[in-house]
Structure 1
Amino acid sequence: MGAGRVPEFRSDNTLINLQHLTKRFSRSGNEVTAVDGVDLNIREGEIYGIIGYSGAGKSTLIRMLNGLEQPTSGSVTVNGLEMSSISGAELRKARQKVSMIFQHFNLLWSRTVEENISLPLEIAGADKAARAERVRELVRLVGLEGREKAYPSELSGGQKQRVGIARALANEPRVLLCDEATSALDPETTDSILDLLTSINRRLGLTIVLITHEMHVIRKICHRVAVMEAGKVVEEGDVLQVFKSPEQPITKRFVSQVTEPGDARQAISQLGEAYPDGTLIRLGFVGDRAEQPVLAKLIRSFDINVNILQGNIAQTHGGAFGSLVLQLSGDGNAVREAIAFLHAEGVETEVIAHD
């Protein structure tokens, strides 16, 4: 079934290229620009995330990748084929290699699991034996053994999305588009679907483009991310680098969803009140630095008291990132030297409060 297992994403080959992509709609006599001059390169074999709040233009953008929407201007090129310049039978054939899964699954409720998965193969004209074999492969791939004869009404949300994924893979696409594919799922089920997408990406070398408003989704599975606001891509880069050094205000808000949720921000404020003595600092650890014994070296090297007040660590495809809130107390010079030491060690350090 398709290619064998591939290593972690390393490709520099562009599979999807967007140039000056713009989409305008006319609504009630007013012109609305949904996508505004977007330039992007998405590489073969990567998981690429597009994040933005409602109305940012991300859903319109992803629909132009498979020709469901035509751009007002600019171009969409997928695997060397300009999607924005083809139509009819040529476009239908191209869409077989650019599949899509949706937030609300879009299954046919009158069809069983295996019949839903088989539908694209029927449309493509595959014979009955080939369809049956392919459906068996896909059922195994997405972990739905024993549920082949079930109808969508008999499935959980996560199982429905697994059917949607299997159906999208039926014609062995080069690209899988995910339109808020986990937004209707609970957190545990979301993680299981993200794990499945990661496994499919690695096993098949499939390029995955997903849109979301949840930074947890980006953190967990994406190699690179584009941040959209008001139809524009305002920031783009490797996920770990974006977490390390977000530049735009909207990106900082998204990153704080994962690195510093609302209850943590409130807790840090409360810590400043609860520990008025000494200096309160927040440390940011990124990549290999998150796994180094920097704190142990700090304690051994300086005659200060170090109190760990709060901390967390998480993983991205590019490596680990995390944060610690510490209280440093002792001689003022020693505290300042300790903070300078942390800077020298490559640890991002922010003084939250000091006496």
Structure 2
Amino acid sequence: MITLKDVKKVFSSKSGLVTAVDGINLEINKGEIFGVIGYSGAGKSTLIRMFNQLEKPTEGSIMVAGRDMAKISGRELRVARQETGMIFQHFNLLWSRTVRDNIAFPLEISGVRKAEQRKRVDELIELVGLKGRELAYPSELSGGQKQRVGIARALANNPKVLLCDEATSALDPQTTDSILDLLVDINERLGLTIILITHEMHVIRKICHRVAVMENGRVVEQGDVLSVFKNPKEEITRRFVGQLTEPEDTQETAEHLLEKFPNGKVIQLTFVGEETEQPLITNVIRNFDITVNILQGKISHLQTGSYGTLFVHVDGPDTEINKVIDYIRSQAVDVEVISNG
């Protein structure tokens, strides 16, 4: 569906040349939700804007639905942009137009007849959950409602691809979840390919099938979300995953327990898929001569399965603790000793 080969973007500035995107190679499948995550300055916004030629690459090719976006212009580019909808962090609505007229705007530009416009706008209002708000102006809408208008407008011309540029960053957590649920629904109903950039791992965790991690203009790690959660290879990826799996006070709690039980060990257990549902700790307590203190734990439900982490302190003879670790590993659960007494 989408292939990027050796994509590079260099800007000129007063201090010289700045490489914002540096040699990106990606394959994005038809119908998947693909996430790009990185901190500010990583190059992710520049990257997504090259998908519809809001930014033109300095080098490389960007194939979207059979077209090289780096090489087209004029009418062909206008058609390609109709097939690539985009939603933005700050909504970019027309403030003098109602909800209905905002959604109709791209249809007007495309020369769609009035009767067809009305029919399509009605369908989209129903799809994004804005029935009853058709005649409201953007100033009368909540942040979530504004973004729903933005999504409906982006879908007006039946695009094949939907680009989301930090689409939930201006929203509160509850509204963010409702917008993410809407995107999943759209993906499943329409078979739409969605490319979503963010700096929030919660967004990736909740809806993405695969993810690419960007740093300093490069993709440093990519893969399906479950694999990246389970085995993050780069330090930046571990930091993102840690936002969801490692409570801030875990280390403090571990140090306190190690002072109290100097011969114990603090271990981190990582569960994936069905392993998140087994009574592992109960079995350990029943079958081994050790004491167990649960420090912190969390299970995250991803698009492709479940992922959980559990931090525990185990105390007892070293030989027995080692048996426990071996037993846990035999249950297809990863074990890492993060602190020793």
Could you say which TM-score interval applies, normalised by the shorter chain? over 0.9
Q: Select the residue among 80, 102, 111 that pairs with 2:88.
A: 102
Q: Select the residue among 228, 231, 235 that pairs with 1:242.
A: 228
Q: Is the aligned partner of 1:131 residue 2:117?
A: yes
Q: Which runs of 5+ in 1 are unaligned?
A: 1-14
**Distance apart, 1:64 and its partner CA:** 0.5
Aligned to 2:25: 39
Query: 2:15 and 2:319 mapped to 1: Cα distance?
Result: 67
Query: 2:253 and 2:83 mapped to 1: Cα distance?
Result: 48
- SS of match in other structure, 2:300: strand
Change (3 A) 1:306 1:266: closer
Aligned 1:107-122 pairs, distance under 5 A: 107-122=93-108
The range that moved more, 29-38 or 100-109, is 29-38
**Distance apart, 1:180 and its partner CA:** 0.4
Change (3 A) 1:281 1:112: same
Aligned to 1:30: 16
The range that moved more, 291-300 or 18-27, is 291-300
Query: 1:28 and 1:265 mapped to 2: Cα distance?
Result: 45
Aligned to 1:86: 72
**Distance apart, 1:267 and its partner CA:** 4.1
Extract structure 1 runs of 4+ deviating beyond 6 A: none
- SS of match in other structure, 2:50: helix
Q: Is the aligned partner of 1:153 residue 2:139?
A: yes
Aligned to 1:225: 211
Aligned to 2:329: 343
Change (3 A) 1:266 1:115: farther
Q: Is the aligned partner of 1:302 residue 2:288?
A: yes
Query: Conserved in 1, the CA contact under 8 Å of 2:254 and 2:313?
Result: no
Q: Deviations over 1:184-229 (max 9, x none)?
A: 0111111111111011111111100010011111011000000111
Aligned to 1:279: 265
Q: Deviations over 1:124-143 (max 9, x none)?
A: 11111111111111111111
Q: Select the residue among 301, 306, 311 that pairs with 2:297.
A: 311
Q: Identity of counterpart residues, as a percentage?
A: 62
- SS of match in other structure, 1:262: coil
Q: Select the residue among 35, 54, 62 that pairs with 1:68.
A: 54
Query: 2:138 and 2:247 mapped to 1: Cα distance?
Result: 35
Aligned to 2:34: 48
Change (3 A) 1:264 1:304: closer
**TM-score between the two structures when normalised by the length of structure 2:** 0.96
Query: 1:272 and 1:33 mapped to 2: Cα distance?
Result: 47
Change (3 A) 1:330 1:321: same
Aligned to 1:256: 242
- Residue 259 of structure 1 aligns with an amino acid whose one-letter code is T
Query: 1:244 and 1:74 mapped to 2: Cα distance?
Result: 32
Q: Deviations over 1:150-188 (max 9, x none)?
A: 000000000000000000000110000000000001111
**Distance apart, 1:276 and its partner CA:** 4.3
- SS of match in other structure, 1:105: coil
Change (3 A) 1:101 1:250: same
Aligned to 1:181: 167
The range that moved more, 280-289 or 207-216, is 280-289
The range that moved more, 258-267 or 307-316, is 258-267
Q: Deviations over 1:224-257 (max 9, x none)?
A: 0001111110000000100000001111111111
Query: Conserved in 1, the CA contact under 8 Å of 2:250 and 2:295?
Result: no
**Distance apart, 1:340 and its partner CA:** 1.1
Query: 1:111 and 1:209 mapped to 2: Cα distance?
Result: 28
Aligned to 2:177: 191
Q: Which runs of 5+ in 2 are unaligned?
A: none
- Residue 83 of structure 1 aligns with an amino acid whose one-letter code is M
**TM-score between the two structures when normalised by the length of structure 1:** 0.93
Query: 2:251 and 2:119 mapped to 1: Cα distance?
Result: 53
- SS of match in other structure, 2:319: helix
Query: 1:264 and 1:29 mapped to 2: Cα distance?
Result: 44
Change (3 A) 1:307 1:262: closer
Aligned positions, number: 341
